[in-house]
Amino acid sequence: MARIKRGLMRHKRHKKVIEKAAGYWGRKKNVFSRAQEQVMKSGQYAFRDRRARKRDFRRLWIVRITAACQGAGVKYSDLIHALNDKGIQVNRKMLSELAIHDMDAFKAIVAQATA
């Protein structure tokens, strides 16, 4: 039976992991076993943080809207409740953008919601 040498496939597999680990500190960038551990952990961080990013942005938008609401003389929770009661469908991202870039439009929405 013929002898099978596995060097080529092992080299390809190692090279793939080492390329993903480029830029890591110390041995994690060039020692296969350390690089593989860190690539796996990095993948876990990436998976977790893709979900956390959505939460972080929602929190940021709420903080911005709250600050704009204080300038308009209404509480954030009252504004959101009034928007839901009136059936005005503007998401928090757009409210935040209006509060930053076009305060007059934001105040118009607040006036329409609280009227």
Would you say 69 and 79 are in contact if contact means Cβ atoms under 8 Å apart? Answer: yes
If you average pLDDT over residues 12-37, what whole number do you get? Answer: 96
* Total Cβ atoms within 10 A of residue 100: 13
pTM: predicted TM-score of the whole model, two decimal places = 0.77
User: Can you say how many angstroms the Cα of residue 22 is from the centroid of all Cα atoms in its chain?
Assistant: 23
If you average pLDDT over residues 48-72, what whole number do you get? Answer: 96
Residue 89 pLDDT: 93
Task: Kindly indicate the confidence band of residue 113, based on its pLDDT and cuts at 50, 70 and 90.
Answer: very high
Taking Cα atoms as reference points, which of 109, 88, 89 lies closest to residue 99?
109
Domains of the chain (ranges, CATH numbers): 9-114 (1.10.1900.20)
If you average pLDDT over residues 19-32, what whole number do you get? Answer: 95
Q: Is the pLDDT of residue 60 over 90?
A: yes
CA 41/CA 44 separation, integer angstroms: 5
